[in-house]
Amino acid sequence: FFLDTNGNRGGAPNVAIVLVDGWPTDKVEEASRLARESGINIFFVTIEGADENEKQNVIEPNFVDKAVCRTNGFYSINVPSWFNLRKAVQTLVKRVCDTDRLACSKTCLNSADISFVIDGSSSV
């Protein structure tokens, strides 16, 4: 995502906002580790909790803790339903713009290169 050929600005922090519906049933740890090591700040927005069927198929139950830079809750937002997503926008904006706390960043400026990753399951 964050390549010069795609318009990445060298001095701006790189932020990936991942929207997931429930819990992923594939592995996220390795891809997340590589992203963090390259300086990408990953924010997880989890829409609705996992139902019991999903919990049985989850490969990594602590996927958010494995994906984000710090497990202090700063990089994760839980939203009870898609209808409540709008209420989470202001919180997300404040966190993304709080460049002093973007632990994976190698720079701290008032701009950021942001990508959105949206769950590809049929429920989204």
Give the predicted TM-score (pTM) of the model.
0.66
Map 77-107 to HEC letters.
Answer: EEECCHHHHHHHHHHHHHHHHCHHHCCCCCC
- Picking from 10-14, 92-96, 105-109, 112-116, which range would have the lowest pLDDT averaged per residue? 105-109
pLDDT digits (tens, 9 = 90+) for 49-105: 655 555 555 555 565 555 566 666 677 888 888 888 888 888 888 887 776 666 555
The predicted structure's pLDDT at residue 32? 77
Structural domains of the chain, ranges and CATH numbers in brackets: 4-118 (3.40.50.410)
